[in-house]
Structure 1
Amino acid sequence: MTRRKPVGLFVNTEKANCSIYESGLMVYRALAQGSDWTLDYAEIHQLDIAALHDLRLEAKPGTGLSLKPAGAYDFWVFNYHHLTMRGAALLDSGRLRPLGGLKFCIVLEVARDDAFVHAPRGDFDGYLVLDPTIGDTDPAVHPFPRPLEAVTPSARPVEAGLPVIGSFGFGTPGKGFEIVVDAVNREFDRAVIRINIPPATYADEYFFGLHGRNYAEYLGDLCRKVAKPGIEVRVSHRFFTKEELVEWCAGNTLNCFMYTRNQPGLAATTDQAVATGRPLAVSTNDTFRHLHRYVTPYPYRSLRDSIALSGAEVQRMRRDWAPDRNVTAFRNILADHGLLDRSPVSVGMSGGSELSGSPLPGGTGTRMSRKLSHSLAALRRPRVLLLDICDDGSPLEGLGGHAIDFMRHSDRFTFLHARCTRLATLPAILRAQQDLDAIVVDAGLSRNIQPLAGILSAVVGVHRFGCWHGRIEALAGWPLLRGLDHVLVTGGIPDPWNGSLSHIGRMVPDLTNVKLPPSDRMRVGGVLADADPGAIRRIVEMVRDLGPCEIALLPILDETAMGQVEAALDGVRPSAKAAGITLDLLPRPGSAAELCDVFATNSMNVFIHGTEHDERLARCMDLALSVQRPLATTVDGAGRRFAGSPLALGERSLAAIARGDLSGLAPFCNDWSVGRFRMRLEAALSPRFGWPGHDLHVPSAG
């Protein structure tokens, strides 16, 4: 007896210049090719939400939409998003639970092992996650291939004889367009960079407040200013159709994406770039994790090598994510739920497996494959403890706490983290760690180096690395040296270079900054590392150059010193007030995230250093670089690394830095990126385990 074809309804978000809507449309177009079911289509604004909450399906008057009764549908697919469907359309997914038929939710924004960062758990029968790498083993979670559209572009690179590097995306923070330009600066003397930043329905109005102008236009101007002579930047602001965008990508020698954001979900922009089959370069940002199993990310692979090597890898992605893979995946899911008979070939695909990089289609077989792949991924890698000694009483994280979330993505080492605030507890912390192969100690926030050296000297059977943050000339007097096998230098490159020193550089964390600075006044951020009135006076004197404004002072002191700050401020406030300057002492931050929020809500951030390196100020500057606000620094102490740059006070006035653009940040954000830090640390550790280090001969900024 022949079974009736199941009938389904696909409900997308309202049409908009928005990656959520576009991703939903791509999934619908892929699933509509299935021959085993019939799939109708509607957009949420066309439906009567009140009726749907009452389990009835009615189109709004004037939409021209012809729908079946709710009971006629065997399954529903909602492109449900907490902002565009719950927030904008007011659809409550919880009220859909009694709705007849199977209910599926497309999920775009997920963490590596959690599909429910934003998706409502339990409201749907299944979750179609557009992340073939998802590690969530919930049986309702179904990994899906990216929904590429089958196209054959005709375009070829638009400039004969010159490399054409292309990047595109909506104008939202963390896209890293300026990092693309800086990367091209480092590798090419002449090149064309094409950047397309189209209007965004939801983002443009909000992000206008970041710089008091259209954010897409701001990003275009920033990229032109980052480019060195010989590098031509062409910026456009067109909203392309999918077909036009694929043709545009095909006109590039290399499609390049250098995101620096830190948020759930995978980048949708690369789907069109992959569809062209042209070479591709992406950063190590976790939003590209589905691509990392195919292409080696920047900076592990240079742009030149990406042009030469990634073409075949992109072709493999095109095969693995072809529309028929989505159809196969969805067919397996419907078979699991009894709506279709299971095909004898419905579990697995010819020539592909999740372990080789080709995701198996959704259904029972996928969940088995995920568990197997996780077991193999857990095979023995050297275990490295990032150990932070933070006994200075400040709220700052050590290097390990600063980096651990990003270091966990290493495919060479298993990185662990521990934080010690009292040296008396350190032996117990070390005993609690099992099967360690190496320890990386950051004592930059410690006051008790002498006893720490003795404790480390007693640790045997593991490689002992220590992080040195100060001047190389002062390293010989560091008491911790006697407890270490190897020194990792975060400041200048050691000279002369020798086998016991490795340069790992600083690390600017990936961050999605959506905080807005005040629009009605100049707010200057300053960091207080001590309660010295002289330090506060230096900040006030420096800020006089800006005229009347507010100084937001952020204390990174221990609790005992906080009481002294108010007294110091009382001595400075009269002269500041006479100059039209208001001094505001902020609450002591409790975490690095709170520090970033403070830096982001300032119009600019100013760092005044003493003569000696203060790692607390250096760590704050790493965080301040990530929020994309004007930054000014003196070039003594921890500010030495900025000497000669556009951020250096003395090279330029504070007023000039405040009025200027952020192009001076790009070389630092690229050189101290999460990916480059991880690459350098892996390269320093690898020889101890008999492995070659990564190629670190990356040209410096021109």
Structure 2
Amino acid sequence: MTVSTPSNPLGQILFVTHKEKHCGVHEYGISVAEALKKSTKYLFTYAECSNANELSAAVKDLTPKAIIYNYYPSTLPWLKKELMRKFEIPSLGIMHEVTQRAADSADTSLFDYHIAPDPTLVLNNPIVFKTGRLIPQYSHEFSLPKITTIGSFGFASAGKGFERLIIAVQEEFDEAIIRLHVPSGDFMDSNVKDVVKRCKDLIIKPGIKLVATHEFLKRPQLLDFLAQNTLNAFFYDKLEGRGISSTIEIALAARRPIAVTRSTMFRHILSNNSLPTDPPICIERTGKPGMSLMEGIDLRLRRRAYLRHTKNKFPAEWLLKPTVSLKQIIDNGIAPLERFHQQWNERNFILDYDRILDRVFVNRNHDLQIPHQQPSALRLSSH
């Protein structure tokens, strides 16, 4: 896919990703490439490569000024420093598992520069740049369902909280439809059927219905899936040391209310200390919940009712009264989410990449030797 041509491009930039389609990294790369084709400063060209020969052929054919790699170790395992050095142009790698520690310790052992799509990052490392998130452009005309319908999606990896969602819905509703979209991934060995069975075993109310689908949906289909729900919920475990989840900006695009837990992967929409400026969409409070003796007994008795139907144990804390109820989140609508649409739009995202490339070429033209771990003067917008 060759992107549209700016009137006076400063240079051609090659954007490289892998060919496998059923993967969140690939989906993120598609979204980024689709946005960057609208840059009025640089000409971006998208290429899917499976090996060093295909990459070398693309570089020879296009003669780019720099290459951006949509990199994850399991998706581009063949990519080596020796290969990139032959091209004699700057290399930039997208960091998908961004943490402050990973960004601060990033070096040039593989890429010359790193792009971290984490607006919460503090820029301490001169070879690391950050961008905001990217909410896909999408519109729909779906009406709200007559029966409260709560949706979620994601690969069946550990910590996604699908079972917790079942319990949360039943604790508030006597009648509701839960829609789970749980596809199999190309880089993930997970038993999707086991996940769905565990969810079904937790249903104890006759008015609660579970609908599970598993075919891999392309982005427009996934957005349609989310737009047809009353609420979309993502109840991930804490998952320390993980990067930001892209499920949030996909759900934001559908313009339906969103409910979340206090997972590290949602740190871009929630502060660490539950500030008043946080949107009222999180069901968990900060810190370890305290409870009286009687409250503890009540939780254990309620959990026992679930365990009569399933052998899969779960934390009693899942039954705690939420900080914000699902009904409250639904009633609040999408107004608490509007600021994210203003910050993480396509225009701001393109500007972030344009600025990053500007800085890279300034460094190269002046032949700067950037010392590792020295503070950078550059501060991109904190979308």
Distance 1:46 1:286, change over 3 A: same
Query: How far did 1:135 drift?
Result: 2.9
Query: Structure 1 residues 19, 201: closer, same or farther in 2, change over 3 A?
Result: same
Shift, 1:318, TM fit: 2.0
Question: 2:267 aligns to what SS in structure 1?
Answer: helix
Query: Within 5 Å, which residues of 2 pair with 1:466-615?
Result: none
Classify 1:223/1:319 alpha carbon distance in 2 versus 1 (closer, same or farther; 3 Å): same
1:110 aligns with 2:126: no
What secondary structure is seen at the aligned counterpart in 2 of 1:364? coil
Q: Secondary structure of the residue that 1:48 maps to in structure 2? A: helix
For structure 2, list consecutive stretches of 5 or more residues without a partner in the other structure: 1-6, 272-277, 285-322, 364-375
Question: Equivalent residue for 2:249?
Answer: 271
Residue of structure 2 equivalent to 1:225: 201
Alignment of 1:140-539 (within 5 A): 140-157=127-144, 159-160=145-146, 162-203=147-188, 206-207=189-190, 215-229=191-205, 230-260=207-237, 261-293=239-271, 294-296=278-280, 297-299=282-284, 300-309=323-332, 311-338=334-361, 364-366=378-380
Q: Do the aligned partners of 1:142 and 1:363 also contact (CA within 8 Å) in 2?
A: no
Deviations 1:320-366 (A, max 9, x none): 111111111111112223469xxxxxxxxxxxxxxxxxxxxx99232
Give the aligned length: 318
Tell me the distance in 1 between the aligned counterparts of 2:268 and 2:218: 24
Q: For the Cα contact (< 8 Å) 1:79–1:105, is it kept in 2?
A: yes
1:467-501 C-alpha deviation (Å, 9 max, x unpaired): xxxxxxxxxxxxxxxxxxxxxxxxxxxxxxxxxxx
CA contact (8 A) 2:93 2:115 kept: yes
**Does the C-alpha gap of structure 1 residues 72 and 276 become closer, same or farther in structure 2, counting only changes over 3 Å?**
same
Matched, 1:81 2:72: yes
Fraction of identical pairs, as percent: 26
Match in the other structure for 2:89: 101
Any idea what SS the aligned residue of 2:252 has? Answer: helix
Q: Is the 8 A contact 2:104 2:125 kept in 1?
A: no
> What is the Cα deviation at residue 227 of structure 1?
1.9
1:34, CA displacement in angstroms? 0.5
Can you list the C-alpha shifts for 1:134-165, whole angstroms capped at 9, x where unaligned?
Answer: 235212221212222211122233x31x2211
> 2:249 is matched by which residue type in structure 1?
D
Equivalent residue letter for 2:331: A
Partner of 1:479: none
Q: Distance in 2 between matches of 1:41 and 1:286?
A: 31
Distance 1:309 1:141 in 2: 38
Distance 1:4 1:177, change over 3 A: closer
CA–CA distance in structure 2, aligned partners of residues 187 and 271 of structure 1: 26
Distance 1:94 1:109 in 2: 24
Partner of 1:32: 37
Q: Is the 8 A contact 2:17 2:70 kept in 1?
A: yes
Q: 1:318 to 1:189 in 2, by over 3 A?
A: same
Amino acid at match of 1:82: P
What code does the residue aligned with 2:143 have? R
Match for residue 131 of structure 1 among 118, 132, 139: 118
In 1, are the aligned partners of 2:9 and 2:43 still within 8 Å (CA)? Answer: no
Q: Give the partner amino acid of 2:80.
A: D
Tell me the TM-score normalized by structure 1: 0.43
The residue identity in structure 1 corresponding to 2:330 is I
Could you tell me whether the CA contact under 8 Å between 1:76 and 1:103 is conserved in 2?
yes
Q: 1:657-668 alignment to 2 at 5 Å?
A: none
Rounded Cα–Cα distance in structure 2 between residues aligned with 1:320 and 1:303: 25
Does the 8 A contact of 2:132 with 2:349 survive in 1?
Answer: yes
Aligned partners of 2:230 and 2:257 also within 8 Å: yes
Return the alpha-carbon distance in structure 2 between the equivalents of residues 305 and 179 of structure 1: 18
Deviation for aligned residue 1:7: 0.6
Structure 1: distance between partners of 2:202 and 2:377: 48
Question: Of the two, which has the highest radius of gyration?
Answer: 1
Question: Following the alignment from structure 1 to structure 2, what is the Cα–Cα distance between the partners of residues 123 and 68?
Answer: 18
> d(CA) in 1 for partners of 2:351 and 2:204?
48
Q: Which has the higher contact order (CA 8 A, sep 6+)?
A: 2
Aligned 8 A contact 1:333 1:363 in 2:
no
Instruction: Give yes or no for the alignment of 1:92 onto 2:80.
Output: yes
Deviation at 1:113, TM superposition (A): 4.2
Cα deviation for residue 245 of structure 1 reads: 0.7
1:621-659 deviation per Cα after TM superposition (whole angstroms, max 9, x unaligned): xxxxxxxxxxxxxxxxxxxxxxxxxxxxxxxxxxxxxxx
SS of residue matched to 1:259: coil
- Other-structure match for 2:291: none
Mapped to 1, the partners of 2:39 and 2:152 lie a distance apart of 33
The answer to whether the Cα contact below 8 Å between 1:142 and 1:366 also exists between their aligned partners in 2 is yes
Inter-partner Cα distance in structure 1 for 2:243 and 2:59: 33
| CA shift for structure 1 position 180 | 0.7
| Distance in 2 between residues matched to 1:4 and 1:242, nearest whole Å | 29
Q: Is the 8 A contact 2:52 2:79 kept in 1?
A: no
- 1:314, CA displacement in angstroms? 2.2
1:191-223 Cα shifts (integer Å, max 9, x gaps): 1111010121121xx33xxxxxxx111111211
When residues 110 and 365 of structure 1 are mapped into structure 2, their CA distance, relative to the original with a 3 A threshold, is closer
Change (3 A) 1:326 1:363: farther
SS of the counterpart of 1:45? coil
C-alpha distance in 2 between matches for 1:113 and 1:200: 28
Aligned equivalents of 2:72 and 2:100: distance in 1?
A: 18
